[in-house]
């Protein structure tokens, strides 16, 4: 009975293209000669540098400090010398202040990293402090500080935790490989999260196109006798979006403008769960992550374990370089990712994939007038009117766009994907969200 509703209304079925890299076991990328660690790798206030040019640092040393509660520190991802603190290309922000470290080739580790005895017995506040100090921010792409998500207000108790193993973006297979190769660490992360939240219901949600990962977790959960349920989700984009996942599994609807905590739920991605385990059980800061490098423009697609701050160029070179017909490089997946103008940009905590796409995989075309076919409305998982919203923003009618729910758009790109007129809804809507937010702040001031 429950299986029938393990999906949501709307959504699309883009070509999955996961076969390019899903069989590729995670490989460690050789250490880069330098890394570029942006101060802004998370939602919230950028961190502040606590090192100076010329300082020597070890892998895992804190190099910038959180500024306020909704912020996290960052750490050196290689050992060596701080060469510069300056503006550098950034995969999301265009350009941002960053700490540049030149490798000494030793990869000398911070002595603070090491196993923590009996970590499951730690006090909840101590666990959260370790997670904050390790610089954790959501690794599924949104990069929201993890300790903030784990600190809901007292009037919003969480009774349901969902581990997000959907990985619904085409091409990306980093989470799939993590689930196959590190399931025990991920499960320990889930146990820690559930202890912090004090919640009883836990779900491990995986799309049905990853039957091997579903089998691995089902076996481990059965053996451990945990109070966890493994659920197989229908394959549909954006099944991994928080609100869609919650609806599919619990049938609870996050209200417009609300958060998962409003319906007693919390969702974390599998990479974040593993990082939670490493922060609490090993005192290991978030200085590396797994990145899928794929697309037909990549000669040998791979899943790579990479130090944060490594330039995209290093990953692409390690994968055999770009084919001549590459027309677009993307940070993230093809639906929600951001096109890049230089390969100097570094891997950040939120970089789940780097895609090199050829002309056969992209739709570069000039937008045409809307033919009112209604397809964008049919597929919108948030029940919005993408065509109307895009037009209102274009004509700067931000008040009306707000009334029609522009802020509820999850920027999934489903509308643009189906649009026969190639209208760039998300481009307009993102701009509309920025303007409406500014307008609301100005009114509140
Ligand atoms: S309007 Fe927003 S939420 Fe709806 S389909 Fe388009 S991008 Fe997705
Ligand atoms: S899908 Fe494109 S053409 Fe069709 S109604 Fe939406 S905006 Fe117009």
Q: Which ligand is nearest to the CA of 385?
A: 1
> Is this prediction's pTM over 0.85?
yes
Q: Is the pLDDT of residue 368 over 60?
A: yes
Reported confidence tier of residue 4, pLDDT bands at 50, 70, 90: very low
Task: Give the distance (Å) from ligand 1 centre to CA of residue 142.
Answer: 16
Q: Please tell me the distance from the alpha carbon of residue 303 to that of residue 25, in angstroms, as a whole number.
A: 7
- The span from the CA of 11 to the CA of 8, in Å, is 8
CA dist 79 and 363 (Å) reads 42
User: What pLDDT band is residue 225 in, cutting at 50, 70 and 90?
Assistant: confident
pLDDT band with cut points at 50, 70 and 90 for residue 364: confident
Ligand nearest to the CA of 387: 2
If you average pLDDT over residues 256-260, what whole number do you get?
88
Indicate whether residue 411 lines ligand 1 (CB < 6 A). yes
At 2 the pLDDT is 42
409 Cα: distance to centroid of ligand 1 (angstroms): 5
Atom of ligand 2 nearest to the CA of 373: 4
pLDDT tens across 287-330, in order? 999 999 999 999 999 999 999 999 999 999 999 999 999 999 99
Average pLDDT of the chain is 94
Distance, first Cα to last Cα, the chain: 50
Output the pLDDT for position 6. 74
The CB of 387 under 6 Å from ligand 2? The reply is yes
Q: Residues 358, 325: contact at Cβ < 8 Å?
A: yes
Q: Would you say the CB of residue 53 lies under 6 angstroms from ligand 2?
A: no
CA 386 / ligand 2 centre spacing (Å): 8
- Whether ligand 1 lies within 6 angstroms of the CB of 382 is answered as yes
Helix (H, G, I), strand (E, B) or coil at 159: coil
CB atoms within 10 A of CB 125: 10
Residue 423, ligand 2, Cβ within 6 A: yes
Q: What is the pLDDT of residue 69?
A: 87
- Residue 134 and residue 288: Cα distance in Å, rounded? 12
Q: Is the pLDDT of residue 1 over 60?
A: no
Q: What is the mean pLDDT of residues 371-376?
A: 96
Q: Which residues pair with 298 in a beta bridge?
A: 322
Q: Omega before 238 cis (within 30°)? A: yes
Average pLDDT over residues 329-345: 95
Rounded Cα distance between 356 and 404, Å, is 36
Pairwise CA distance, residues 199 & 268, whole Å? 14
Ligand 1 atom having least distance to the Cα of 408: 3
Q: Measured on CA atoms in the order 360, 364, 370, 371, is the torsion positive or negative?
A: negative
Confidence of residue 3 (pLDDT cuts 50, 70, 90): very low
Distances (CA, A) of 212 to 72, 183, 229: 35, 12, 16
Written as six digits, the tokens of 273 are 């769960």
Higher pLDDT, 8 or 104: 104
Q: Cα Rg for the chain, rounded, in angstroms?
A: 21
CA of 412 to the centre of ligand 1 (A): 5
Query: Which residue matches tokens 């290093």?
Result: 314
- pLDDT per position as a tens digit, 149-177: 999 999 999 999 999 999 999 999 999 99
Give strand ranges (E) for 258-334: 265-269, 288-294, 302-307, 326-331
3-class SS shares of the chain: helix, strand, coil, % to 5: 35, 20, 45
Report which protein residue has its CA nearest ligand 2's atom 6: 376
Nearest to 238 by CA among 5, 3, 4, 12: 12
What mean pLDDT comes out for the span 58-72?
Answer: 94
Which strands form 34-38's sheet, in the order they lie side by side?
A: 34-38, 94-103, 80-90, 56-57
d(CA 253, ligand 1 centre) in Å: 17
Kindly report the protein residue whose alpha carbon is nearest to atom 4 of ligand 2.
373
Per-residue confidence (pLDDT) for residue 5, from 0 to 100: 53
> Which pLDDT score, from 0 to 100, does residue 127 have?
97
Q: Point out the ligand 1 atom lying closest to the alpha carbon of residue 414.
A: 5
- Ligand 1 atom nearest to CA at 426: 7
Q: What SS3 class is residue 248?
A: helix
| Residues 23, 375: Cα–Cα separation, whole Å | 35
Q: With 0-12 CB in 10 A as exposed, 13-18 as middle and 19+ as buried, what is 369?
A: exposed
Report the C-alpha gap between 362 and 355 in whole angstroms. Answer: 11
| CA 144/CA 205 separation, integer angstroms | 20
- Ligand nearest, relative to CA of residue 429: 1
CB neighbour class for 226 (10 Å; exposed up to 12, middle 13-18, buried from 19):
middle
Q: How far is the CA of 76 from the centre of ligand 2 (A)?
A: 47
CA dist., res. 238 & res. 140, Å (int): 13
Q: State the ligand closest to the CA atom of 10.
A: 1
**What is the whole-number distance in angstroms between the Cα of residue 368 and the centre of ligand 2?**
10
Contact 297, 291 (CB under 8 A): no
Counting ligand 1 atoms within 8 A of each CB, the residue from 12, 257, 414 with the most, and so the one to mutate, is 414
Nearest residue (by CA) to ligand 2, atom 1, is 419
Which of 247, 334, 386 is the pocket-test mutation for ligand 1 (most atoms within 8 Å of CB)? 386
Q: Nearest CA to 56 among 79, 76, 81, 38?
A: 81
**Mean pLDDT along residues 207-223:** 96
Between the CA of 381 and the centroid of ligand 1 the distance, in Å, is 7
Would you say 184 and 144 are in contact if contact means Cβ atoms under 8 Å apart?
Answer: no
pLDDT in tens, 378-431: 999 999 999 999 999 999 999 999 999 999 999 999 999 999 999 999 999 999
The span from the CA of 21 to the CA of 17, in Å, is 8
Place of tokens 């007129």: 421
Instruction: Write out pLDDT tens, residues 26-50.
Output: 999 999 999 999 999 888 888 999 9
């Amino acid at each position: 009975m429950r299986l029938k509703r393990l999906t949501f209304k709307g959504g699309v079925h883009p070509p999955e293209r996961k076969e390019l890299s899903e069989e590729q076991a995670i490989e460690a990328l050789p250490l880069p000669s330098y890394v570029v660690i942006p101060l802004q790798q998370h939602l919230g206030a950028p961190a502040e540098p606590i090192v100076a040019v010329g300082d020597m640092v070890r892998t895992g040393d804190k190099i910038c400090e959180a500024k306020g509660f909704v912020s996290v520190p960052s750490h050196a991802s290689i050992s060596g010398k701080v060469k510069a603190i300056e503006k550098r290309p950034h995969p999301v922000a265009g350009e941002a202040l960053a700490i540049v470290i030149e490798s000494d080739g030793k990869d000398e580790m911070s002595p603070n990293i090491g196993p923590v005895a009996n970590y499951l017995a730690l006090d909840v506040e101590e666990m959260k402090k370790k997670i904050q100090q390790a610089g954790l921010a959501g690794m599924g792409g949104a990069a929201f500080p993890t300790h903030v998500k784990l600190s809901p207000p007292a009037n919003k108790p969480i009774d349901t935790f969902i581990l997000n193993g959907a990985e619904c973006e085409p091409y990306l297979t980093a989470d799939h490989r993590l689930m196959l190769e590190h399931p025990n660490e991920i499960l320990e992360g889930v146990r820690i999260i559930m202890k912090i939240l004090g919640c009883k219901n836990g779900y491990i949600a995986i799309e049905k196109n990853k039957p091997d990962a579903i089998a691995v977790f089902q076996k481990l959960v059965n053996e451990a006798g945990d109070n966890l349920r493994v659920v197989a989700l229908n394959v549909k984009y954006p099944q991994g979006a928080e609100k869609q996942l919650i609806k599919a599994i619990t049938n609870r609807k996050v209200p417009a403008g609300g958060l998962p905590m409003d319906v007693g739920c919390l969702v974390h991605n599998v990479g974040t769960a593993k990082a939670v385990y490493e922060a609490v059980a090993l005192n290991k800061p978030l200085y590396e992550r797994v990145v899928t490098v794929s697309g037909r423009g990549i000669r040998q697609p791979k899943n790579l374990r990479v130090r944060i701050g490594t330039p995209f160029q290093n990953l692409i070179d390690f994968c055999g370089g770009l084919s001549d017909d590459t027309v677009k490089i993307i940070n993230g997946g093809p639906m929600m990712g951001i096109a890049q103008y230089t390969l100097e940009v570094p891997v950040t905590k939120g970089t789940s994939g780097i895609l090199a796409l050829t002309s056969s995989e992209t739709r570069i075309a000039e937008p045409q007038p809307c033919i009112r076919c209604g397809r964008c409305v049919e597929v919108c998982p948030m029940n919005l009117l993408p065509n109307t919203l895009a037009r209102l923003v274009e004509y700067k009618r931000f008040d009306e766009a707000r009334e029609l729910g522009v802020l509820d758009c999850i920027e999934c790109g489903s509308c643009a994907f189906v649009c026969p007129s190639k209208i760039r809804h998300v481009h307009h809507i993102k701009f509309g969200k920025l303007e409406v937010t500014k307008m609301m702040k100005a009114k509140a001031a």
